[in-house]
Amino acid sequence: MSERVVVGVGGGIAAYKSCELIRRLKEGGSDVRAVPTEAALRFVGAATFEALSGHPVDTGVFERVDEVQHVRVGKEADALVIAPATADLIARLAGGFADDLLTATALVATCPVVLAPAMHTEMWLNPAVKDNVETLRRRGVVVLEPASGRLTGSDSGPGRMLEPAQIADATRAVLAGWRPSRALEGRRVVVTAGGTRERLDPVRYLGNFSSGRQGVALAEAAAQAGAEVTLVAAATDELPTPAGTTVERVESARELEEATRRAAAGADAVLMAAAVADVRPAAQAEAKLKKSAGGDALASIELQENPDIVRGLVAARKDGELPAGVRIVCFAAETGDETASAREFGARKLKAKGADLIMVNEVGEGGAFGSADNEGWLMRPDPEGDEPIVAEVPRGPKLLVAGRIVEELAGLLDGSND
């Protein structure tokens, strides 16, 4: 049976984005019902929501009274996601109001509730709104951090609603069990993501199949946990920018190393999720390499190794070039062979690199690259033995997996995992 998701829509200009959110959730297999406020219908008509969801649209508690829908809708939902959640709507939810169908549904709901705020920067930073958000989070409501960007008119700043794809991903992760905490509040975290590209000539490069989805999900999870995040992004398939992150775009392994070292100087943790190319061409041709009858310039290309960025970070920490307390997390996309399993290769890599934590994925057909889901093993050194401490990470949405890694990182930073 598909999950039943109620999409609440507040009365803000971002209400038009809720249409795409409904479509994405429907395409993901969810049974979606829209519950807009009266104000939301001034931005998007009821017919649009009905056509997209396949369900009738009501706004008041006195509609379909015979079905007791002001109680039934919330009780039957597997998740309630409200996007946009305006300042007024957040205040009414925090106050426990039930003066329309949406607030009544929220009050009845025992399922996970997700809010995607959307408002002007001054509203988002207002102490009253901050108090209301903290109240809701304390009650277990997932209040996502908004993005920073273009608002109504010419204004720009934090308060922009996340993109529908990000909200849909967050909803699926919450349905799978993700509950973001504020465990990284006040921390500075560097995340690398995407596959590096090593230029061969003006039109070709050496690269890999990484989509960057897991690294971007890590940046999102860390930001939602309260961290100040710098994302060093190689090729990431134009994925949406995670909320509240500073993004630095790079292309090659050496560019990624330089940007990461620079950002790590003031960080509490570095999460190396980028898929770094092991080698690069020894020389980059200034003109496109040609095939010809007399020989193929592409048949023999001299390669040289790229730097091992994780080992470099560990060495810099040891030498005092980076803060002694900075935690270093690495990733291993592995395949097994006749000598060892992917998990065993990952354990060897953790020991060889000297990192504090490693996430090991088994890649290949249906593996981690390009997939919306992920799974694997989280490993950290055992101070009392040679074998690492291993926690299995079951298959789930990449944001859920990212949340699990963030939880483990928080434990390393506060010493509870030592």
Q: Catalytic residue numbers?
A: 208
Residue 81 near residue 143, CB atoms below 8 Å: no
288 is in an annotated binding site: yes
CA distance 244 to 53: 31
Distances (CA, A) of 155 to 119, 130, 148: 11, 20, 11
- Count Cα atoms within 13 angstroms, Cβ side, for 407: 13
CA distance 281 to 412: 38
Collapsing DSSP to helix, strand or coil, 161 comes out as coil
Provide φ and ψ at 381, rounded to 5°.
Answer: -60, 145
Structure tokens, 103: 């607030």
CA distance 182 to 225: 4
Whether residue 112 has a cis bond before it, omega within 30° of 0? no
Residue 129 near residue 119, CB atoms below 8 Å: yes
331 is in an annotated binding site: yes
Element (H, E) at 25: helix 17-27
Strands (E), 42-93: 79-85
Burial class (CB in 10 A: 0-12, 13-18, 19+), 207: middle
209 is in an annotated binding site: no
Contacts (Cβ under 8 Å, ≥6 apart) of 154: none
307 is in an annotated binding site: yes
62 is in an annotated binding site: no
Contacts (Cβ under 8 Å, ≥6 apart) of 372: 213, 397, 398
Structure tokens, 251: 């292309």
17 is in an annotated binding site: no
Sign, CA torsion 30/62/85/403: negative
318 is in an annotated binding site: no
Residue 277 near residue 196, CB atoms below 8 Å: yes
Task: Locate all alpha helices (DSSP H) within 204-330, ordered by sequence.
Answer: 213-224, 253-264, 309-318
Distances (CA, A) of 282 to 56, 299, 300, 305, 309: 63, 14, 12, 9, 18
309 is in an annotated binding site: yes
User: Quick one: which of 53, 124, 134 has its CA closest to 93?
Assistant: 134
Going by the annotation, the residues of the binding site are 278, 288, 307-310, 331, 349, 353
Going by the annotation, the residues of the binding site for CTP are 278, 288, 307-310, 331, 349, 353
